[in-house]
Amino acid sequence: MTRLHRYGRRAIVIGYARTALGLSCTLLPLGVMQPALWVGVALTVGATLFLIDGARCAGRHAMKLVVDDAGIRVLGLFGVTIGWDRLRAVELAYYSTRRDRGAGWMQLVIRGPGKAIRVDSDIDGFDRIVATASRRALQLGRPFHERTRINLASLSIDVGGAAGYAPGTVVRGADGA
Amino acid sequence: MLNYTIRRILIMIPTLLVISLLTFTIIKLPPGDFLSNQIAELQSQGDRSALERAAFLRKQYGLDRPFIEQYATWVGIWPGERGFSGLLQGDWGWSFEYNLPVGEVVGDRLILTFILNFSAILFTWLVAFPIGVYSATRQYSWGDYGLTLLGYVGLATPSFLLALVLMYFANVHFGMSIGGIMDPQYLGQQWSWDKVASVLKHLWIPVIVIGTASTAGMIRRLRANLLDELQKQYVVTARAKGVPRLRLLIKYPLRMALNPFIADIGNLLPSIVSGSAIVAVVLSLQTAGPMLLSALRSQDQYLAGSFLMFMSLLTVFGMFISDLLLAALDPRIRLSGGSVK
């Protein structure tokens, strides 16, 4: 079975808006307000980061992620393919810019030999991608880092040994069904 | 991580703007300003040249302009009498009390404050770290009880009292001049090796005074965090599998126990330049704390405001660094937390 995933329109619009806001907050003072040297350096670093983010956002806009029985692949200019049989590790991280760690986002990293695919939780069907990748990693006996186990447990995916969490978490079937 | 960094930077920009507005509002809250008070005083004395100078400064720093324009000029996002000339352009303003640019007033004091508080933080970590680890790994031993007692004594002793006691002993037993961070003859002099030696000779008293309370606090926190980690299942499993105790301790539980300290970097940075104001007053240290107090009392608005803004900048930057480190070391969700997407 083949599934196609793309980043949603809302995520892309927010991404572009973030880039525009960041660039206006850094390039405008740089161009108009004759900042001191150290402020100028900080603003230039910021502007560079926002430019990279904008390029990344454009990449996401064009990105198509295909998951099938053979593996996972990113279609496009910098396409990557990782076959399930060559899967090295699955990592799931959670980030939040709030101190209470509420309202954050997840990032899935699927590692193959010498390459990796990174997917944020803004993508359509993120849960299903995570479920499929973790199930494949479990089948191959790949070890999971403790934080990945805990983050998987929050999506009701138990890969065993999520210390400190209640037993009986649901193990999802194939494709997260 | 790039996504995280970008979002964090985007939060920093409005945060700093709001902080700068609050800082400026607070320092402008008392009625009048330094120059108004000075003008009133000079008018009563009939001093015309000083009156003209005060009027010149009032115009130059836009003190006769609307509040929001004064704020925008101070930050450097709106041109004043001298074009764009504010914090963004590295112009901290003019200290009316010292009659000097703020940068010159703060300069030497900032270096001394940095040396003092950085030494105190180093002292805290060097002392607290091994004691905290010892206490946790030998829980309920005589050593643990003894060090815990010492920790409580350190927490309970007011810093100013410890400062007075140490000053007395340093004078009676070591013949050191009381107070100050260097011998009086080096005050206001250029930096030389003799001056550095004098600072180092005087440094140990304030370092011990400032470091004691935070050392005690850190020992308690490190002990508690490490005990929590040592009782977790993965530690028991690793021990059962024969992982050497020291290696296991350093590789996993100690790292996890350090998370709260990494989260604390945000508070650590501003305390390097502003901490220990009360101790500095008691010990007559020529650091930035007493200067800030004096600036706030005399409504020296640019000195107080720029210094407060500098500390806020360090806090925000420190929080940014600690958040990045925490995100890199421990990107974990709290199951009781909010939504994921």
| Segment 16-55 of chain A within 8 Å of chain B by CB | 18, 21-22, 25, 29, 32-39, 46, 49-50, 52-53
Structure confidence by residue, pLDDT tens digits, B160-213: 888 888 888 888 887 776 677 787 777 777 778 888 888 888 888 888 888 887
Alpha carbon distances (Å) from B178 to A10, A144, B280: 66, 60, 13
Alpha carbon distances (Å) from B278 to B157, B282, B291: 14, 6, 12
A46 closest CA partner among A13, A63, A23, A69 = A23
| Segment 96-125 of chain B within 8 Å of chain A by CB | none
pLDDT at position A143: 80
CB A141 within 8 A of CB A125: no
- Whether chain B has a CB inside 8 Å of the CB on A148: the answer is no
CB B124 within 8 A of CB B218: yes
- Whether chain B has a CB inside 8 Å of the CB on A143: the answer is no
Contact across the interface for A33 and B13, Cβ inside 8 Å: no
* Chain B environment of A122 (Cβ under 8 Å): 341
Structure confidence by residue, pLDDT tens digits, A78-89: 788 888 888 888
Structure confidence by residue, pLDDT tens digits, A129-174: 998 998 888 888 888 887 888 888 888 887 765 443 333 333 343 3
Distant-in-sequence, close-in-space partners of A33: CB < 8 Å, separation ≥ 6:
B76, B77, B84, B88, B89
B99 closest CA partner among B54, B32, B40, B142 = B54
Contact across the interface for B7 and A18, Cβ inside 8 Å: yes
| Segment 80-109 of chain A within 8 Å of chain B by CB | 93-97, 100-107
Q: For residue A91, what are the β-bridge partners?
A: A109
Structure confidence by residue, pLDDT tens digits, A20-78: 998 998 898 888 888 888 889 989 998 998 999 898 888 888 888 898 888 898 887 77
CB A91 within 8 A of CB A116: no
Q: How far is CA B166 from the centre of its chain?
A: 23
- Whether chain A has a CB inside 8 Å of the CB on B5: the answer is yes
pLDDT at position A41: 92
* Chain A environment of B2 (Cβ under 8 Å): 49, 52-53, 56
Q: What is the amino acid identity at position A102?
A: G
Q: Determine the Cα–Cα distance for residues B28 and B26; give it in Å rounded to an integer.
A: 5
CA distance A75 to chain B (A): 21
Predicted confidence pLDDT, tens digits, chain B (341 residues) = 778 888 888 888 888 889 999 988 888 887 777 777 777 777 677 766 777 777 777 777 677 788 888 888 888 888 877 788 888 888 888 887 888 888 888 877 788 888 887 888 888 888 888 888 898 888 888 988 998 888 888 888 888 888 888 888 888 887 776 677 787 777 777 778 888 888 888 888 888 888 887 788 888 888 888 888 888 877 888 788 888 888 888 877 887 777 777 777 666 666 666 656 777 888 888 778 888 888 888 778 888 888 888 888 888 888 888 888 877 777 776 655 444 44
| Residue A177 pLDDT class (50, 70, 90 cuts) | very low
SS3 A102: coil
Tell me, what's the ipTM?
A: 0.74
CB A170 within 8 A of CB A156: yes
Contact across the interface for B88 and A29, Cβ inside 8 Å: yes
Contact across the interface for A101 and B3, Cβ inside 8 Å: no
Q: Determine the Cα–Cα distance for residues A82 and A113; give it in Å rounded to an integer.
A: 8
Contact across the interface for B335 and A165, Cβ inside 8 Å: yes
Q: Determine the Cα–Cα distance for residues A113 and A85; give it in Å rounded to an integer.
A: 11
| Segment 264-323 of chain B within 8 Å of chain A by CB | 323
pLDDT at position B272: 62
Q: What is the pTM of this model?
A: 0.72
pLDDT at position A176: 37
B34 closest CA partner among B311, B298, B334 = B298
Assigned token pair, B266? 């945000």
pLDDT at position A44: 92
- Whether chain B has a CB inside 8 Å of the CB on A116: the answer is no
* Chain B environment of A121 (Cβ under 8 Å): 340-341
Q: Determine the Cα–Cα distance for residues A68 and A133; give it in Å rounded to an integer.
A: 11
Q: Determine the Cα–Cα distance for residues A61 and A94; give it in Å rounded to an integer.
A: 22
Phi–psi pair at B220, nearest 5 degrees: -65, -45
A interface mutation test: which of B1, B2, B3, B232 has the most A CBs within 10 A?
Answer: B3
pLDDT at position B333: 67
Q: Determine the Cα–Cα distance for residues B293 and B31; give it in Å rounded to an integer.
A: 18
Residue of B nearest to A109 (CA): B1
| Domains of chain B by start residue, with CATH | 31-101 (no CATH), 103-329 (1.10.3720.10)
| Residue A109 pLDDT class (50, 70, 90 cuts) | very high
Q: Determine the Cα–Cα distance for residues B292 and B308; give it in Å rounded to an integer.
A: 8
